[in-house]
Amino acid sequence: MFLVCFNDTEASGLLRPEWDIGHFWQNEGRPTRYQDTAYLYEGEFEHRDSLGTHQMIYPGEVNWMTAGKGVTHSERTSDATRAKQNKLFGIQTWLALPSDKEEMEPDFEHHKEGALPLITDTGTRAHLILGTAYGETSPVTMQSETFYLDVVLEAGKSFPLPDDQEDRGVYVSEGSVEIAGDLFEKGRMMVFRPGDKMTLKAGPKGARFMALGGATLNEKRYLWWNFVSSSKDRIEQAKEDWKAGDWENGPFKLPPGDDAEFIPITPELDRTKPKDWP
């Protein structure tokens, strides 16, 4: 799983092979082979993909794209958005598909904020974006066990993480949280051992964080650029298909309405090798 924070300033840093935070850029047509969700705190942008989807997304809503055997997409600020003063702040998360689902047909879903379960307590609000947690289930179609929450806490309030998943982590997007006496500020991410009962307490200015986790994949994954697969050979084939640029008859099509440009594989990128996910 990868976590990408995008806003008006660049910031990137590898947390561990499964978890990454980086800057979100405005995309031209590009290929993907995983599942990803876009979730905004502020602003808006326009999604198009090779399935023919054309969808605006606003704060609290979910765009959920399953790449499967291959899809291209673009994410841009629209002409209308650029014509006015605007800010962009949100989170994009990538999830590797189970090996038996890697070549499934691509798909796209959009869900409004009101469709997502809202979990509340005194000083606590948590929207369940993906998966199942605390007896609630998101309407987003999942291919593996997952939970993904947008949690807002008032100062001093506590929030227990689900303890029934092997992999769990928290990314602090606003304020700070205290865990076992240690304070973690905005921009930090923590990954926890399986089975440990973890409770987060909001700092003096409150906190907003993404809590996420799920079942550990039992097969190795490889990542190269925007391609994710359990097979290096499959990545190499996808790489050659993209380089060929046969958008009419090849396996990749560019998004209708945004097919005038695409991100090429540069010679420098071409020389790189897939990364192993332990």
The whole-chain average pLDDT of the chain stands at: 85
- CATH code of domain 116-214: 2.60.120.10
DSSP type of residue 82: H
Between 21 and 256, the higher pLDDT residue:
256
Q: Is the pLDDT of residue 238 over 50?
A: yes
* pLDDT at residue 81 is higher than 90: no
Query: What CATH number is given for 1-111+220-278 in this structure?
Result: 2.60.120.10
Alpha-carbon distance 47 to 66, whole Å? 14
**Type and span of the H or E element at 270:** helix 267-270
One-character DSSP codes across 226-246: TEEES-HHHHHHHHHHHHHT-
CB distance 149 to 62 below 8 Å: no
Q: Could you give the 3-state DSSP secondary structure of residue 192?
A: strand
- Fold agreement between 1-111+220-278 and 116-214: yes
Q: What backbone torsions phi and psi does residue 8 show, to the nearest 5 degrees? A: -85, 0
Residue 92 tokens, joined: 């994009």
Task: Indicate the domain borders of the chain.
Answer: 1-111+220-278, 116-214
User: Do 93 and 36 form a contact (C-beta atoms < 8 A)?
Assistant: yes
- Return the structure tokens found at 265: 């594989």
C-beta neighbour count of 52 within 10 angstroms: 11
Closest to 108 (Cα-Cα) out of 29, 157, 47, 155: 47
Q: Point out the least confidently predicted range of 6-15, 98-107, 142-151, 190-199.
A: 6-15
pLDDT class of 272 with cuts at 50, 70, 90: very high
Range 49-54 average pLDDT = 94
Give the whole-angstrom CA distance, residue 257 versus residue 151: 36
Tokens of 220: 């190795």
- For the question of whether the overall pTM of this predicted structure is more than 0.85, the answer is yes
